Every structure is written in C-alpha cells, then in structure tokens.
Structure 1
Amino acid sequence: MATVSDKPRTQDVIRVSRDNYLSAEFVQLEKQNLWPKVWQVACRAEQIPNPGDYIVFDVADESIIVVRDKNGESFSAFFNVCPHRGRQIMEGCGHAVNFRCQYHNWTFDLEGKNVVVQDKEDWNGTLDCENIDLHRVKTGTWGGFVWINMDPESESLEEYLSPVPDYLDPFEYENMRFRWALELHLPCNWKVALEAFMEGYHVAATHTQLLPVQGEDYTQSASHGKHAHFGYWQATQAAGTPSPRLKRETPADTRPGVIEFFRQMEEDFAAIFTDRDFEAAKKIMDEVPADADPMTVFGMAIELGRRAAEEEGCGYPPNLTPEAMFKAGTDWHVFPNCVTLPYFDGAVWYRARPDGDNPDKCIFNIWSLKRYGPGKEPKVETEVHEDITGKSFGLIVDQDIANMKLVQKGMKSRAFSYARPNPVQEEEITNFHRTLEQYVLGQRRP
C-alpha cells in the first residue's frame, strides 16, 4: 500500500494555474475533452428501482436518460435528444413505458428504438434509411452507482476505476442506501467545490471545533493512476483525544471524548458515521473502564456500532477487516468529479458538475449513505437548493461552503497566479490537475 512518507523534492511540487478554475476557455475545453470521455456517476441504482424507472442526468451541454431495463437487472442510457428537431425528450425522473417527445409525438421504446413517427408517410419512405433511434450511451455499475460514458470507444468501467475497487469494495457501497441527499447550486467552480473535500489539511483551520476530539489531524496522501486518497496512516492519537496541534494532555478517561466525537459528527454532519454509531458509542461508559487506553476505547465504540448494525439486520461487511480499513484510508478522489469518505456503517459521497458555461458556478451533490436492514431504508427525495443564500446545511458543510465562496473570489486577484498544493497532504489535488490537464489540454501545463 502506497503512502507518502518522504518529503518530495522541490521539483516535484506542482503549481496549479488559476486558469483551471477561472478560464471560460478551459470550460469549453472540458466540454470537448473531459466530460464526453470519462466515466461518471449518473445516479444511485436505488433512485430507479423498478423496470421502466428513469432519471435524467445533465452535465455540461449533454443530457442523458438513464433507465432500468425491463428485466430489472440492468440499465440503459441514451442521449436525451429527439432526432427529429433536437428537443430534449425527458425531464427529471419517474416511470415510463416509452420515451415520447412532446413536441411532435415521436416515440421510442425503453431500448431507444423509434416506434412512432407522427405522419411518417409524409417522408415518402426516406426516413427508412435514417438512424432515428435514440443514440445509446455506455453504462456500468459499481458500488450501487450507475455510471455512464459517452465515448463508445472508452475503456471499460472496470479498467477506468482501477484500483479503487480493490480498496473500497470491502465497504460494500452497494449495500448502503440514501440517508439524505442534497443538490446545491454553488457560486464557485466545480473543482473548487470538490477540492474542499479532497484533503484533510484544512481541518485544523476550518473545523476547529473538531480538534479537541479529532485525535490525529495530520494526513498523508497518495495517487493511484487517475485516482488518489489520503489517510491517517501515521496517526499517534486516536479519535476521542485532542489533536497533537493543541499540545494538550490526553485525558485519563477518554470515553467522554469518543462520545463527543460521534456526537459532533452526527449532529453537525449526519454523514460517514451514522446515528446508530452515535447511540452505540454512548454505551462505552458501561463497556470499558475509565482508565482504558484510547485505542481500546475507540475500538470498543466501533465494535458496539457493529453489534448494533447486526441487531438491526444491517449486517457488517464480511471482508472489511481492520487491515482493509487501514489500507483504504479516509478519503478517495474518483476522477474526475467524485469524492467519498467511507466507514463500515455508512459513507458520504460528493459529486460536482459545471452549471452552464459560467466557471463561477457549479452543481454540487452530497449523498449521505447508510446500511439499513431489508426494507427499512427511508424513501429519500433529493433536496434541491438553487439559491443557498441564508441557508444552513449543518455546521461542517457550512464551514466548507464558506471557504468555497471566498476561494472563488480570491483567485481572481491579480496577486494570485497559481495554487501551491501541500506535497504531503494534498496529493489528491496535485494528481487531480495532472490528470485533468492531460484530458483537457492534451498535456501538462509547463
């Protein structure tokens, strides 16, 4: 397992041009060279659970219909455009027996085949040699997500994602379901929004309330092809104890700190860890003595959460050993536009997309996932906020959004030419732009 242990040489440190975030030309090049070429998360499979259920996924100028096939086991996707006059056919999500363009009633079955042309005889047979079916888009599934790729010559999803599944499969994302779902329209570039969750370097300054019970907050990061992750592989302090930055003594009784850690994560975020984990953690007051060492205390909180999950019929991922959790680390960037932080009982997943041609705007999804017993998952509708002014989404998200807004404004200063990612803790960002520039520009910037 690759981690970062040595300080990189000066020549290894990347500088990220502000044009990657601010340039209207870069937006256009992304539309040409990035979004049509990469595998992207279109939706969770649970969003279209029944045959004929569909959802429309929009990115840049493209709109894609994703539908669960009649057999209920697989998915199809099509460009959401009628070959007659170019009208988009479907909107939002729902259930369909066919796809009908409401402009002139041209109709397509769930396989994308044209089945109705209104007054077809007017063409006097000339349409018979035209391709008037919907154009198919490649699909794949992994982790409970439906992925799409608009490039018919692209590599397979398995090849594209490698080696991410080797690290994250033990968490069984496919057995998680929505706890809540947000779609936020933010006043920043999609990369600014995503990068707020691609490093732990910001925790000490942005989420200061966590430090008394965060434990170790110094991270290491590593890249794996297109993708990258960070973790706390050299941690000296367990969660529930003060960050070493605070230079405080570790309390003799760390049980209250562990409970406070889970409380903060539940009440201020309600993601990664679950409400079930918080309730279970409270039981450590009875399960471990006050003088137990910090790792034993936090380990018992995890064990109690596992027991609670099994008691509720949620199960525990059988391949998620302590070694597998350690190897996976804390946070993964899945190129280009997703970030996830997993835990055995839940996870958070972020997805960022451009919002039109304006480099100062993006659409940002936050999905809190949780393991539920069979049939016990809630019916969750995505909460959409096209204007976030004056709104709160929990303390932790609010703190991150505050950074996004000010980063987007600050980068426009004539005093700022490029970002300087931390070479130890921000390799996710460094690797992101290495890969992004190769796609978008065809080469790395000098």
Structure 2
Amino acid sequence: MATAVDNRPRDIIKVAAENYTSAEFARREKEHLWPKVWQVACREEQIPNTGDYIVYDIADDTIIVTRARDGGIKAFFNVCPHRGRRIMEGCGHAVNFRCGYHNWTFGLDGKNVAVQDREDWVGTLDSENLNLVEVRTGTWGGFVFINMDPDCESLETFLGVIPEYLDPFELGNMRFRWSLELSIDCNWKVALEAFMEAYHVAATHAQLLDTQGEDRTSSFAHGKHAHFGYWGAEYFIGEPSPRLKKQRPKDVRPGVVDFFRQMEETFGAIFTDRDYEAAKQIMEHIPADADPMTAFGAAIEFGRQAAIADGCGYPEGLTYEALAKAGTGWHIFPNCQTLPYFDGAVWYRARPDGDNPDKCIFNIWSLKRYAPGKEPNVEHEKHTDLTGKSFGLIVDQDVANMKEVQKGLKSRGFAYARPNPLQEVAIANFHRTLEQYVLGQARSGS
C-alpha cells in the first residue's frame, strides 16, 4: 500500500461549482442518478419483524421498505395506483398498507387486496395491474439497499471491492448507538464531502492534533468508490501531529487515553465508550516507556477482552493486516461514507431535500457491537431547525463548515474546487463518476 508521502503522478482536478449549486444539475441527478444506483434505505435492524416498515424518500421518489411474511425484505414505490396519493409515512408496523384517501389496500407483498366500491368499475379494473410497483432490494453489512431500475446491475457488482475491504469489520453485527437526521442548508454533496477526507482535520478539528499522531493521509479510488488512510505514518495515536512541531512524549500512554477520551466525549462514534474504558487500563498494565504502537495495541487488546466479556464478540477476521488494508474511511458511491473500527463505526448518508440544491437531509449513524438482546432502544432524532442546537463538538465543527461552503460556492470569486491530489482523491473520483451518470461524461479537467 502506498504511503502518505508517495510519489504517484497527481492530476489537478477541477470540480465545477455548478455540481453543487445548479438547479439543472440537481434535476439531472433526479433523472439520471437516483433512479439508477444502489443506495442505502435503512438498516436491517430498523425492520426486524414481519410487517415492520420504513419509508425512504429520495428526491421526488418515495419508497416503502418492509419485512415480508417470509422474513425477506421487499420494497415498493410508496404511491397508490388509484390517484397517486403517498400511502405510508415515517416508520412503524403494519398488517397491510392502506391508502388514507380512498381505502385502497395492499398486502406486505405489494398486491392489491381491496378496492373500495370495486363494483363501480363493473369489471373494467380486472385487466389493470393494481399492485404496488416493486423496487429491487439487496443487503450487505446490515444495510438495506434499494435500486429503482429493474434492469440494474446486481448489488454485488455495484459494491465491487467494498466487501473485500470492509467485511472483516462485521458491520452487520453492529447496532445503532445513536442516530441523527439533520436538515442542512447545503447541497448533499457538500455535506457528504465533509467526511470523505481527513485533510480538514488540522483546521476544523485542531483540538485532536495533540494526540492523534499523523494527520496527513493518502487516498485511492476503487472504481466508483474510494478510501483514505494513514499509510506510512511515522507518528501514531498518543503522539502530537508532526505539523505541531512538538517534542514527542517519552510516555505516550496519557496521550492514547486522552485520544479515546476526546473521541468519546466529543463524538461518541467510530470508537466506543467500551474502547475508552479499556484504554485506561494501559496506565496500569503497560510500562511508561512503551512505544506508541505497543501502547495503542494494548488498548485494542483490552477493548477486545471487554467486548468478549460483555458478550458482544469481536471481529476475529479483522487482523492488523486487514485493518491496514482497509484504511480509515470509505466513500460508497453515491451518497454514503463510513469510518469503521473494531468495536464501532460511524456511517454518513446524504440526500437532496426536494428540488432545492441548497438543502439536504443528512444522516449520521453511530454503530456499536452489543450482546444479543442488549441493544439500546435508540431514538432516531430528526432536526429540521439547527438553530442553537449542539450535537457534540466534532459534529458541530463539521456542520459549521457546510453552510459556509454552500455560500462560498456561489461567489463570483470562486471558479472551481481543487481537490488535494493526494488526500482528496475520493472527492475527485466522486465527481468524475457522478458526472458520468448525470452528464453522460466527465467534464473536461475533472
């Protein structure tokens, strides 16, 4: 694997501001992107029982995802074939799906089971297809994907190398720790891109630099998808970033513990509360002169022991080699980003909010391993007005950038975005792929 200081040829990529601000570009996304791609609708744990359902809205389309009677998962366009009314809202449990306008009713398999006053049609409805229109579904990593294109490629083909790199994390064995849905005044791509690279950490999350070690990354494209990581780092968790030009501590243990503390107290994602408590043990059991990798490795081992003691299990296939191969963060085209770890992960999902290119719906899901039956009853918080609200220091810092970026993209003084050719390959690759869907080809220079 290449390092953070590799000498790959680096193309300068230009991303047009119109990709984020143009109503026409958003319209073309609705036509050529969202109906054609696999996208995450929910987690399997959100619909565990027969009849459980959740409504997934994307642009102008609304889709019911449900647990069928055979235990499988089905999805349908959430629209009544009678007069076009949206049938279901939010999430919940249903024996069937009934349209509140005229009582037309559909089974969990999408088949029409009742038409109010059907005799009024005098048999002419018999030749009509009155069932809900089915949408393709697939599952991976505990996530439910949908695709509105009946002729789409398989989910396996779409994901490409993702399972090879991320299956060792056993995302399917994690459950919600907390869940946020935020309405943000920016384009969906601006929100997602805030997490597709770590180049922003030094400026946006400067409080982390004292203990996170190397903060300079490299990144790589894998077809539609991409990842970044700290390959080739010479400074490690527990040490200050080399850009601070501070002396490396002789005892890194307090730095390791403080790193986990900050992540737990200001974010509560990727790493877990169990990781933080386990890391504290290195102060007693690891010598003060231990090197950074020994200290951090011991924190991982104490975390493993704690997870097993709690009945949560541990990802045995996630060797240090597999962890290094996977890197730190993955962009899963088009609209998801994840940063996984041994005991937890964070998952981001961004969607357009209607037709407005200046607004999006942004989900942040913190996932964690729990013993069977010990999963918390998580409230899926939704916030349409963020005024005066805080979601933890790290989330607040990231969200603060988004609105300012959207404003700046419209300035006459802004020509185009210039992604870092080493650390922001994921963003350049994202727009090349996006433009191929939306425009039919990548723009010149992107």
TM-score of the alignment, normalized to the shorter chain, above 0.5: yes
Partner of 1:88: 86
Equivalent residue number for residue 189 of structure 1: 187
Q: Which residue of 2 aligns with 1:379?
A: 377
Is it true that 1:40 corresponds to 2:39 in the alignment?
yes
Instruction: Report the Cα offset of residue 4 of structure 1.
Output: 7.1
Partner amino acid, structure 2, of 1:233: W
Q: CA deviation at 1:340?
A: 0.1
C-alpha distance in structure 2 between counterparts of 1:402 and 1:318, whole Å = 38
Which structure 1 segments of 5+ residues have no match?
A: none
Equivalent residue for 2:331, pick from 330, 333, 341 = 333
The amino acid that maps onto 1:209 is Q
Counterpart AA for 1:22: T
Q: What amino acid does structure 2 have at the position aligned with 1:44?
A: R
Contact 2:4–2:216 at 8 Å: present in 1 too? no
Indicate which of 245, 254, 257 corresponds to 2:255: 257
- Indicate the SS of the match to 1:21: helix
1:52 is aligned with what amino acid? G
Q: Is the 8 A contact 1:271 1:347 kept in 2?
A: yes
Alpha-carbon spacing, 1:431–1:397, altered in 2? closer, same or farther (3 Å): same
Gaps of 5+ in 2: none
Give the corresponding residue for 2:424: 426
1:7, 1:423 within 8 Å by CA — same for their partners in 2?
Answer: no
1:97 corresponds to which residue? 95
Q: Write out per-residue CA displacement over residues 306-344 of structure 1, whole angstroms, 9 at most, x where no aligned residue.
A: 110011011111211110000000000000000000001
Aligned to 1:273: 271
SS in 2 for 1:122: helix
Q: Please tell me whether the aligned partners of residues 3 and 222 of structure 1 are also in contact (alpha carbons under 8 angstroms).
A: no
Name the residue aligned to 2:54: 55
- 1:435-446 equivalent positions in 2, closer than 5 A: 435-446=433-444
Q: SS at 2:211's partner residue?
A: helix
Residue 52 of structure 1 contacts residue 97 of structure 1 at CA under 8 Å; is this kept in 2? yes
SS, match of residue 360 in structure 1: strand
For the residue of structure 2 that corresponds to 1:134, the secondary structure is coil
CA contact (8 A) 1:3 1:221 kept: no
Q: Hey, what does 2:19 align to over in structure 1? A: 20
| Alignment partners' CA distance in 1, 2:306 and 2:249 | 27
- Post-superposition Cα deviations, 1:333-379, rounded to whole Å, max 9, x if no partner, equal 00000000000100000000000111110000000000001111101
Checking the alignment, whether the CA contact within 8 Å between 1:144 and 1:174 is kept in structure 2 is yes
Give me the whole-angstrom Cα distance separating, in 2, the residues matched to 1:232 and 1:156: 32
After TM superposition, the structure 1 = structure 2 runs for residues 234-253 of structure 1, keeping only pairs within 5 Å, are: 234-253=232-251
In 1, distance between residues paired with 2:141 and 2:6? 33
**Residue aligning to 1:123:** 121
Within a 5 Å distance, the mapping from 1:198-237 to structure 2 comes to 198-237=196-235
Matched-pair contact (CA < 8 Å) for 2:4–2:230? no
Match of 2:152 in 1: 154
Q: Is the 8 A contact 2:4 2:217 kept in 1?
A: no
The Cα of 1:7 is off from its aligned counterpart by: 4.2
CA gap of 1:5–1:224, structure 2 versus 1, over 3 A, is farther
Describe the superposition over 1:37-58 as per-residue Cα deviations: whole angstroms up to 9, x where unpaired. 0001000011111011000000
Q: Structure 1, residues 147-182: CA drift from partner, whole Å, max 9, x if none?
A: 100000000000000110100000000000000000
Q: How far is 1:3 from its partner?
A: 6.6
Cα distance in 1, alignment partners of residues 395 and 247 from structure 2:
29
Task: State the 1:15 CA deviation.
Answer: 0.2
The within-5 A match list for 1:159-178 is: 159-178=157-176
State the shift of 1:2 in Å: 6.5
Tell me the secondary structure at the aligned position of residue 358 of structure 2.
coil
Corresponding residue for 2:74? 76
Aligned match of 1:349 in 347, 350, 370?
Answer: 347
Secondary structure at 1:361's aligned position in 2?
Answer: strand
Structure 1 residue 60, shift from structure 2 partner: 0.1
Judge conservation of contact 2:4–2:232 (CA < 8 Å) in 1: no
TM-score in terms of structure 1 length = 0.98
**Is this contact kept in 1: 2:261–2:276, CA < 8 A?**
yes
- Count of equivalent residues: 444
SS in 2 for 1:306: helix
Give the aligned residue type for 1:312. D
Deviation at 1:429, TM superposition (A): 0.2
Q: Which amino acid aligns with 1:151?
A: D
**Does the aligned pair in 1 maintain the 2:279–2:299 contact within 8 Å?**
yes
Deviation per CA, 1:216-241: give whole Å up to 9, x if none: 10100000000000000111011010
CA positional deviation for 1:126:
1.2
Cα drift, residue 5 of structure 1: 5.7
The letter of the residue matching 2:233 is: A
Question: What is the rounded CA distance, in whole Å, between the counterparts of 1:2 and 1:216 in structure 2?
Answer: 15
Please state how far the C-alpha of 1:71 moved relative to its aligned partner. 2.2
Give the % identical residues. 73
Distance 1:95 1:314 in 2: 28
CA–CA distance in 2 between the matches of 1:407 and 1:205?
A: 14
* Cα distance change of structure 1 residues 434 and 2 upon mapping to structure 2, 3 Å threshold: farther
